[in-house]
């Protein structure tokens, strides 16, 4: 596509809006055609392109047909543009996508793939800690990923000086971050003109009509499995060892052999299948989601259920919704493992011993298991192992045998 074709496409979307055909949020691109055309000269066909809510140009330049992009916008999917065949992915959560890009890039490097990840963000996303963590991870591990900051000096409406008290820019490593500046000729969302809202209400559908909810996975009960005489911790350890035989990756802090093996439960898992991370719970979930796009089944270990709240963005907005928002094109076979510190030998305090199971049951649509016995541990992890989508398993410290050590 050329510059005029891009502009003409967005003009067509504006025309739909003016004719009361778009009763939902959309974000127009404009003013950055030359910059994007130059960048996409370096993007190969098999590369991943991850974009934000302002993604129309990116989708078109990565090969999505114009009629397909247009129809998806008319179907209410402007902010949720996906294409598994072309490795195109977008997110409407500001700062939500860099960590996913990191996970994809990590998996590609492990495969020695020639593919590359191009992650486009605005300067609003640049403000977030998620972006800083992702850049540091890519730079530190030399991952095949480039972050493109599309800087229009706006985070929704406010400019940098209003947001931060200074207009000075953060210095990022140029090995993995590139910035271009441009002036957006449109407001944050929609256009400068408002359509007839009374008319748009007539065609507005429900949330489930735009994005039908998927049926929750069902599993065998596995009651025929003979567990034998073992403790709760031994059952967890056996389950982890079995998971380690698959194409899995165990992600988190204190998962490595020299760091505690997740309370000793990962001793049967090969070290090369353990990814020791910083204390970055949201990045951990995003890493896992990105890895899952490349066929890995990640097991994310949150040492305390309390800490999972820090990762709630990745869990609630992306892992939970990616299959639904992409109409099944992307899946998230991620196992989220956590522990409620409701027992000894040490008292962990109010912020390290809370049980948020009910909160997450309200937040997500995927299965949450709470094994209370060794039998339930084996059976629930067997279900998680076969799951095609995400599963959360909440263990309880009070069920362990008392010999476990933890911080």
Q: What is the CATH number of the domain that holds 299?
A: 3.40.50.970
pLDDT of residue 193: 64
Same domain, 67 and 186: yes
On the question of pLDDT at 332 being above 90, the answer is yes
Q: Once rounded to an integer, what is the mean pLDDT over residues 222-234?
A: 88
Same domain, 247 and 374: yes
Same domain, 162 and 246: no
Does residue 106 lie in a domain region? yes
Q: Which of 184, 204, 224 finishes a domain? A: 204
Same domain, 193 and 265: no
Q: Are 13 and 40 in contact (CB under 8 A)?
A: no
At 342-364, the pLDDT tens digits run 876 667 788 888 899 999 999 99
Q: Per mean pLDDT, which of 183-197, 206-220, 288-302 is the most reliable?
A: 288-302
On the question of pLDDT at 400 being above 60, the answer is yes
On the question of pLDDT at 403 being above 50, the answer is no
Does residue 406 lie in a domain region? no
Q: Are 48 and 117 in contact (CB under 8 A)?
A: yes
Does residue 215 lie in a domain region? no
Band the pLDDT of 49: cuts 50, 70, 90.
very high
Q: Of 257 and 124, which is predicted with more confidence?
A: 124
Alpha-carbon distances, residue 245 vs 51, 242, 338 (angstroms): 34, 5, 21
pLDDT of residue 260: 86
Q: Once rounded to an integer, what is the mean pLDDT over residues 147-166?
A: 88
Band the pLDDT of 157: cuts 50, 70, 90.
confident
Same domain, 186 and 277: no
Mapped onto helix, strand or coil, the DSSP state of residue 146 is strand
Same domain, 249 and 368: yes
pLDDT of residue 114: 97
Same domain, 139 and 252: no
Same domain, 64 and 165: yes
Same domain, 270 and 334: yes
pLDDT of residue 401: 60
Alpha-carbon gap, residue 239 to 336, rounded angstroms: 14
Does residue 335 lie in a domain region? yes
Does residue 283 lie in a domain region? yes
Alpha-carbon gap, residue 384 to 371, rounded angstroms: 12
pLDDT of residue 346: 64
What pTM does this model have? Answer: 0.94
On the question of pLDDT at 314 being above 90, the answer is yes
Q: Which of 155, 186, 204 finishes a domain? A: 204
Give residue 88's domain range. 3-204
3-state secondary structure 58-99: HHHHCCCCHHHHHHHHHCCCCCCCCECCCCEEECCCCCCCHH
Q: Per mean pLDDT, which of 14-23, 49-58, 347-356 is the most reliable?
A: 49-58
Task: List all residues 6 or more positions away from 140 whose beta carbon is below 8 Å from its beta carbon.
Answer: none
Listed in sequence order, the DSSP H helices in 212-356 are 232-243, 261-264, 281-292, 305-308, 312-313, 322-325
Closest CA to 195 of 28, 74, 24, 53: 24
At 265-289, the pLDDT tens digits run 999 999 999 999 999 999 999 999 9
Q: Which of 204, 224, 244 finishes a domain? A: 204
Q: Once rounded to an integer, what is the mean pLDDT over residues 10-27?
A: 87
Q: Are 316 and 363 in contact (CB under 8 A)?
A: yes
Q: Once rounded to an integer, what is the mean pLDDT over residues 175-196?
A: 80
Count of domains observed in the chain: 2
Does residue 225 lie in a domain region? no
pLDDT of residue 21: 82
Does residue 295 lie in a domain region? yes
On the question of pLDDT at 205 being above 70, the answer is yes
Band the pLDDT of 326: cuts 50, 70, 90.
very high
Same domain, 237 and 172: no
Alpha-carbon gap, residue 124 to 47, rounded angstroms: 25
Q: What angle do CA 100, 105, 106 make, to 5 degrees?
A: 100
Q: Hey, what long-range contacts does 182-188 have (CB within 8 A, 24 or more apart)?
A: 182/31, 182/32, 182/35, 182/150, 182/151, 182/152, 183/31, 183/152, 184/30, 184/31, 184/32, 184/152, 184/154, 185/30, 185/31, 186/27, 186/28, 186/30, 188/27, 188/154, 188/156, 188/157
On the question of pLDDT at 404 being above 60, the answer is no
Q: Once rounded to an integer, what is the mean pLDDT over residues 149-175?
A: 85
Q: What percent of the chain has pLDDT over 70?
A: 95
- Which secondary structure element, helix H or strand E, spans residue 380, and what is its range? helix 374-386
Which pair of tokens denotes residue 250? 């165990």
Q: Once rounded to an integer, what is the mean pLDDT over residues 291-318?
A: 96
On the question of pLDDT at 223 being above 90, the answer is no
Q: Once rounded to an integer, what is the mean pLDDT over residues 305-325?
A: 95
At 89-128, the pLDDT tens digits run 999 898 999 999 999 999 999 999 999 999 999 999 999 9
Same domain, 310 and 257: yes
Same domain, 323 and 395: yes
Does residue 389 lie in a domain region? yes
């Amino acid at each position: 596509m050329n510059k005029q074709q891009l502009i003409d496409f967005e003009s067509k979307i504006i025309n739909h809006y003016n004719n009361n055909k778009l009763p939902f949020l959309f974000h127009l691109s404009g003013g950055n055609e030359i910059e994007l055309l130059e960048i996409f000269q370096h993007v190969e066909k098999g590369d991943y392109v991850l974009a934000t809510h302002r993604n129309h140009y990116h989708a078109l330049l990565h090969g999505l047909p114009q009629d397909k992009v247009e129809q998806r916008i008319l179907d209410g999917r402007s902010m949720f543009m996906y294409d598994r065949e072309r490795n195109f992915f977008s997110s409407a959560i500001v700062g939500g996508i860099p960590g996913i890009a990191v996970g994809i890039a990590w998996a590609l490097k492990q495969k020695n793939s020639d593919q590359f990840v191009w992650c486009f963000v605005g300067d609003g996303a640049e403000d977030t800690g998620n972006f800083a963590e992702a850049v540091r991870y890519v730079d530190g591990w030399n991952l095949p990923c480039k972050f493109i900051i599309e800087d229009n000096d706006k985070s929704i409406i406010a400019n940098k000086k209003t947001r931060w008290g200074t207009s000075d820019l953060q210095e990022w490593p140029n090995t993995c971050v590139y910035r271009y500046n441009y002036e957006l000729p449109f407001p944050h969302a929609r256009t400068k003109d408002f359509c007839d809202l009374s008319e748009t209400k007539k065609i507005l559908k429900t949330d489930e009509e735009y994005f039908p909810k998927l049926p929750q996975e069902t599993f065998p009960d596995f009651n025929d499995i003979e567990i034998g005489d073992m403790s709760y911790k031994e059952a967890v350890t056996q389950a982890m060892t079995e998971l380690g035989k698959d194409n899995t990756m165990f992600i988190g802090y204190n998962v490595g052999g020299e760091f505690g093996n997740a309370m000793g439960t990962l001793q049967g898992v090969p070290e090369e299948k353990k990814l020791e991370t910083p204390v970055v719970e949201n990045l951990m979930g995003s890493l896992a989601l990105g890895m899952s796009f490349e066929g890995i089944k990640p097991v994310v270990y949150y040492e305390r259920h309390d800490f999972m709240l820090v990762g709630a963005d990745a869990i609630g907005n992306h892992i939970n919704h990616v299959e639904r928002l992409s109409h099944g094109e992307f899946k998230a076979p991620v196992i989220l493992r956590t522990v409620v510190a409701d027992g000894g030998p040490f008292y962990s305090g109010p912020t390290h011993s809370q049980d948020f199971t009910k909160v997450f049951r309200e937040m997500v649509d995927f299965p949450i298991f709470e094994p209370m016995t060794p039998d339930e541990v084996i059976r629930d992890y067997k279900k998680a192992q076969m799951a095609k989508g995400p599963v959360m398993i909440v263990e309880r410290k009070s069920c362990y045998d008392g010999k476990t050590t933890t911080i």
